[in-house]
Amino acid sequence: MRRVHVVVAGRVQGVFFRASCAERARAAGLAGWVRNDPGGRVEAVFEGSADAVQTLIDWCREGPAHARVDDVEVSDEMPVGETRFRVL
């Protein structure tokens, strides 16, 4: 089990980043959340199998079709046992 906090910078708001991220996370069986932050970035927490978490991290480096990802920060956290994925 792995849990990470991801912060994605670039043109990531207004391009369906959160909705696309949530769809992929749910399909991968991950728990956690995704939200826009006031600084124009997107933050997400992914919790689940290490392989599924890595797949979502890799996707965040590209994002949906109209996004432009400039930077992705990833920090590991202790898993807390979340069971669903939410858009905040």
The CATH number that applies at residue 23 is 3.30.70.100
In which domain, by residue range, is 46 found? 2-81
Does residue 20 fall inside a structural domain? Answer: yes
User: How many other CB atoms are there within 10 angstroms of residue 19's CB atom?
Assistant: 12
Task: Give how many domains the chain has, as a whole number.
Answer: 1
What pLDDT sits at residue 60? Answer: 98
What's the pLDDT score for residue 11? 96
User: pTM for the complete prediction?
Assistant: 0.94
CA-based torsion, 30, 45, 61, 19: positive or negative: positive
Instruction: Kindly list the catalytic residues.
Output: 18, 36
Q: What are 10-31's pLDDT values in tens digits?
A: 999 999 999 999 999 999 999 9
Is the residue at 47 inside a domain? yes
Residue 30 lies in a domain: yes
Residue 12 domain-assigned (yes or no): yes
